[in-house]
Amino acid sequence: MTGMTTGAGLRARLGGLPPWGIGLAGVFGAIALWWIAAVTVLAGVGASADGGGGAIPTPFDVVRQLVTDGVSFYWPNVSVTVTEAAIGYFWGNLAALLLAATVLVVPALERLVTQLAVISYCLPIVAIGPLAFIVIGSPGHGESSGTAVLLAGISVFFTTVVGAVAALKSADESSLDLIAVYGGGRIKQLFKVQLMSALPGILTALKIAVPAAVLGAVLGEYVGGVDQGIGPAMVNAQQNLQIARAWGVALMAGLLAGLGYAAFGVLMRLLVPWAASSIAGRKGGSQ
């Protein structure tokens, strides 16, 4: 009984926190668990015969390595990966949004577009990478990899197509009928009603696509022939047994994805404040 009461009290306290506070509490909780595991049950994982060089460093070791490497190490690598992810994100989402809009204008194409999106999602990225590299080729020194750009675009395509089609189809039927009564066709319905009502859903799909683009770019760098980027930096650190650096590079990739996701969250609050207000209202009503 006491345990149930304690659990209910904890949920009530967490429920009173703003979303960023809950996220921050989760981050600190994950770091604490990582630290405890690294110095206890996982301390000997991957350790050498002399007891040193464990494969699970503590957060302090990783942060210390991050500071030691500094901007001079991370900026050339991060800038290449961000460029690849951004280009792939742009073209992949542009194709997805154009196809989603086409479905609204020509509904008969919905099954074809959905099947195309599902196929892109089911394609094994690791298998596509080497084939794409053969076709696209290797980039020059410090340049972005076309293979990484392609994999980033493929990674975001499915999420945006499905999210945008669902959002565009959620428009109010009475508003669509009103446009039709006044002589408007599907194009006018798309621009006057469906795009506005679908904006929160489309932005949500674009927000979810940011981490996928970063992941696709990093995977593409493994086979994309680049000499700089998060992927090559991680591989080099692993091969040289620089464990803390490998973890630091991986955390940097996660940080990039998280920052992009959070930036879209802020953008949504600015562009579609009514969506955030309705979500808050539903949460308050459920309580």
Q: How confident is the model over 11-26, as pLDDT tens digits?
A: 555 556 777 677 778 8
| Domain regions of the chain by residue span | 75-281
Sign of the CA dihedral with 88 first, then 92, 94, and 97 last: negative
CA angle 24, 27, 28 (to 5 degrees): 90
- pLDDT tens-digit map of 67-111: 999 899 999 999 999 999 999 999 999 999 999 888 877 888 888
Are 55 and 61 a contacting pair, CB within 8 Å?
Answer: no
Q: Which residue has the higher pLDDT, 172 or 242?
A: 242
Q: Which CATH class is domain 75-281?
A: mainly alpha
Q: How far apart are CA 213 and CA 152, in angstroms?
A: 4
pTM of this structure? 0.79
140 φ/ψ angles, rounded to the nearest 5 degrees: -80, 180
Mean per-residue pLDDT of the chain: 81
